[in-house]
Amino acid sequence: MNRLLKNREILLTVIIAIMIAGFSTRAQGFAAPGNLANIFNDTSILIILALGQMTVILTKSIDLSVAANLAFTGMAVAMTNAAYPGLPLALLIVMAIGIGAFLGAINGYLVWALRIPPIVVTLGTLTIYRGMAFVLSGGGWVNAHQMGATFLNVPRLPVLGLPILSWIALLIVLGAWFVLTRLPFGRAAYASGGNPTAAVYAGIDIGWTKFIAFVVSGALAGLSGYLWVSRYAVAYVDIAAGFELDTVAACVIGGISIAGGIGSVAGAVLGALFLGVIKNALPVIGISPFAQMAISGIVIVLAVVFNARAERKAGRIILRDRGAKEVSA
């Protein structure tokens, strides 16, 4: 099992390297360190969101409301900054994480206490949160000139050659690795997705684990809300529309099983980078940006097919399937 996962990550790394090499034959300088750092920085927000999404997916759930959460939080933070330019940035970031975590907690509570299927809950809250962003802003925009200089510039400041945005992403990658592999919560998340029945017998509170996973995903979405608004220097209702699918795609490409319990932090990060490289390469090699959606679609479908085959080869699918059926019947 472990070897299989390792293979997947190595395979993905090789594929990404081949892609970069291929693109650099078409466009000089694509593989230059500076450009690669740019691509990483450009993919940072996707990486952060994908790690939150991964935590939720591990527990056999899904969070489709992350992009709407991001839009609402981003709007709230941007409007606060525009109205009270004196507030320190740290407070605004805490506020973003807090609002995001609260919206995530609403999802988590509905899944935990009322046992409504996560896909239904988050499909509902997806429209509600985005609608609330509209109600909050009255449909208006917050533009660059209304935001403070610190608010806009901090994620761009270079530290040791990389912008702070990239460092935040790296920190969160490390944090996610630590939480998921070294803390009880991580074990509980894997266990409650991998085999819910066994997890209950092992004394794990599945509902609580799911709740925490949604709070984590919401908090990361909230943080991304600030990062997004600051990076693109504009806040409006439709920011990051449909981005929730990219986060799911990154997870699926990274080998995180949608049935729960399988996947690694490295996989999710590589999955996000895979999408990031494609997104950045399309304009460089002269393919219309309109093609990006179809390419993501093909990649998701192929990744799902590939995941299913990999899981079947491991000889686990029958056992897991039966367990899932017994539990959901």
Q: Contact residues for other proteins (CB under 8 A)?
A: 60, 62, 110, 114-121, 123-128, 130-132, 134-135, 139, 192, 196-197, 200, 206-207, 237, 245, 248-249, 252, 258-259, 288, 290-301, 303-305, 308, 322, 324-325, 327-329
Residue 73 Cβ, how far from other proteins at the closest point, in Å? 17
Written as one letter, the residue type at 296 is S
Residue 99 Cβ, how far from other proteins at the closest point, in Å? 17
Residue 230 Cβ, how far from other proteins at the closest point, in Å? 24
Which residue, 125 or 264, is less far from other proteins as judged by CB?
125
Which residue, 144 or 327, is less far from other proteins as judged by CB?
327
C-alpha distances out from residue 93 to 48, 88, 113, 229, 247, Å: 15, 9, 29, 12, 22
Task: Write out the DSSP string of 143-209.
Answer: -GGGS-HHHHHGGG-EETTEEHHHHHHHHHHHHHHHHHHHSHHHHHHHHHHH-HHHHHHTT--HHHH
Residue 289 and residue 282 in contact, taking contact as beta carbons nearer than 8 Å: yes
Phi, psi of 327 (to 5 degrees): -75, -35
Which residue, 143 or 321, is less far from other proteins as judged by CB?
321
Residue 231 Cβ, how far from other proteins at the closest point, in Å? 23
**290 DSSP assignment:** G
Residue 164 Cβ, how far from other proteins at the closest point, in Å? 31
Which residue, 14 or 119, is less far from other proteins as judged by CB?
119
Which residue, 36 or 245, is less far from other proteins as judged by CB?
245
Phi, psi of 105 (to 5 degrees): -65, -35
**239 DSSP assignment:** T
